[in-house]
Amino acid sequence: VARPPQRPVLPPPAPPPVPEARPVDLDGLAARVRDCRRCKLCLTRTNTVFGVGSPRAPVVFVGEGPGEEEDRRGEPFVGPAGRLLDRMLFSIGFTRDQVYIANVVKCRPPGNRNPDPDEVATCQGYLFDQLTMIRPRVLFALGRFAIISLLGRTDAVGRVRGRVYEWRGIPVVASYHPAFYLRQPGFKKAAWQDLLTLKKLLDQAAPGNQAAPGPTAS
Ligand code: URA
Q: What would the pLDDT profile of 162-181 be if each residue is shown by its tens digit?
A: 999 999 999 999 999 999 99
103-158 pLDDT, tens digit each: 999 999 999 999 999 999 999 999 999 999 999 999 999 999 999 999 999 999 99
CA–CA separation, 178 vs 67, rounded Å?
Answer: 13
> Ligand 1 pocket: which of 75, 177, 180 to mutate (most atoms <8 Å of CB)?
177
Cβ of 140 below 6 Å from ligand 1 = no
77 lines ligand 1 (CB under 6 A): yes
Q: Which of 67, 104, 91, 68 minimizes the C-alpha distance to 188? A: 91
Q: pLDDT tier at 195 (50, 70, 90 boundaries)?
A: very high
Atom of ligand 1 nearest to the CA of 64: 3
Q: How far does residue 81's CA lie from ligand 1's centre (Å)?
A: 7
Q: Which atom of ligand 1 is nearest to the CA of 104?
A: 3
Å from CA of 210 to ligand 1 middle: 36
Report the amino acid identity of residue 44: T
81 lines ligand 1 (CB under 6 A): yes
Q: Is the CB of 70 under 6 A from ligand 1?
A: yes
- Give the pLDDT mean for 14-27: 73
Torsion of CA 89, 92, 95, 98, to 10 degrees: -110
Q: Is 109 in the pocket of ligand 1 (CB under 6 A)?
A: no
> CA 207, CA 211: separation in Å to the nearest integer?
10
Sheet containing 170-175, strands listed edge to edge, beginning at the edge strand earlier in sequence = 52-53, 100-103, 59-63, 138-142, 170-175, 164-167
Span from the CA of 10 to the centroid of ligand 1 (angstroms): 55
Q: Which of 152, 142, 153 minimizes the C-alpha distance to 102? A: 142
In angstroms, the CA 115 to CA 204 distance is 35
Q: Give the E-state strand segments of the chain in sequence order.
A: 52-53, 59-63, 100-103, 138-142, 164-167, 170-175
Is any atom of ligand 1 closer than 6 Å to the C-beta of 136? no
- Measure 6 CA to ligand 1 centroid, in angstroms: 66
The single-letter code of the amino acid at 192 is W
Other residues' Cβ atoms within 10 Å of the Cβ of residue 32: 17
First-to-last C-alpha distance (Å) of the chain: 70
Whether pTM > 0.85 for this model: the answer is yes
Tell me the C-alpha distance between 216 and 218, whole Å: 6
Q: What is the pLDDT of residues 37-90, one digit of tens each?
A: 999 999 999 999 999 999 999 999 999 999 999 999 999 999 999 999 999 999
Please tell me whether residue 83 adopts helix, strand or coil conformation. Answer: helix
Closest C-alpha to 62, from 152, 137, 127:
127
Any atom of ligand 1 within 6 Å of the Cβ of 178: no
**Rounded to whole angstroms, how far apart are CA atoms 143 and 131?**
17
